[in-house]
Structure 1
Amino acid sequence: MAQVTVEIAGRSYPLSCRDGDEPHLESLAASLARKADGLLASLGPMSEARLMLMTALMVADELHDSRAGKAPPPLPADPAADARLAALTARIEALTARLERKSNAA
């Protein structure tokens, strides 16, 4: 049995899982942590129990919508991520153009 410690809203939770399931469990916990962080950012401090309940309700709502065939809500805008993506896209385009020039010259 493997051991994993995950962190949600600044608290660590030691968990057990099957050997090999550690990355999956860590990914699930990271998803919950993002939801919990979003709740704290929008609603402010709350008890651990209330935070976990509200996070669980958000996940249950998403599952319900998924089973009903509803599209997930759009991701919130992230200007910093958009800027990084634009810079990476420009870099890839520049490298592609450079490779094409070298290929045509050969």
Structure 2
Amino acid sequence: MNHINVTINGRQYRMACEDGQEARLLTLADNLESRIGQLRGKFGEIGDARLTVMAALTVCDELLDAGQRLRQLEEEVRELRSVRAASADRARVTQTAVANALNAAADRIERTTQILNRTIGGGVAIG
């Protein structure tokens, strides 16, 4: 477990993080610091605690929206997979039907050729 110092709303905080997560924690702190700065620019000096709470609520709002969008996209992916599977099944059925029709046509052509050869009798064989 490592410890790093982050600055949020102008104050230093010593935070613990897992090994290798230092850069991510710094990025998160910078993001929160930026949000607080934006809110301060928009609303002025309304108190440190209030700015921090507003920034946290903004992040939570975005997280909830992202979660909803993720669930929508996951449902869309499930539906698309279902449609893809149904399409693949229809394609297999169609390919089988086409193959059967071609085989049946080839059989009819072969029988017709044999009949014509017998009918012509002794002439030049067709096919």
Aligned partner letter, 1:30? D
Shift of 1:31: 0.8
Shift of 1:9: 2.0
Contact 2:9-2:52 at 8 Å conserved across structures: no
Q: Deviations over 1:28-71 (max 9, x none)?
A: 1111111111001110112222111101100011011112229x
Q: Is the helix fraction higher in 1 or 2?
A: 2
Q: What stretches of structure 1 move > 4 A for 4+ residues in a row?
A: none
Residue number in structure 1 paired with 2:67: 67
Matched, 1:43 2:43: yes
Counterparts of 2:11 and 2:32, CA distance in 1: 12
Q: Which has the higher contact order (CA 8 A, sep 6+)?
A: 1
Residue number in structure 2 paired with 1:57: 57
Counterparts of 1:12 and 1:52, CA distance in 2: 14
**Uncovered stretches (5+) of structure 1, i.e. residues with no partner:** 71-106
Residue number in structure 2 paired with 1:82: none
Residue number in structure 2 paired with 1:104: none
Shift of 1:22: 0.5
Percent identity over paired residues = 39
Secondary structure of 1:46 counterpart: coil
Secondary structure of 2:20 counterpart: coil
Higher-Rg structure is 2
Worse-superposed segment, 36-45 or 8-17: 8-17
**Uncovered stretches (5+) of structure 2, i.e. residues with no partner:** 71-127
Q: How many residue pairs get matched?
A: 70
Matched, 1:27 2:35: no
CA RMSD in angstroms comes to 1.5
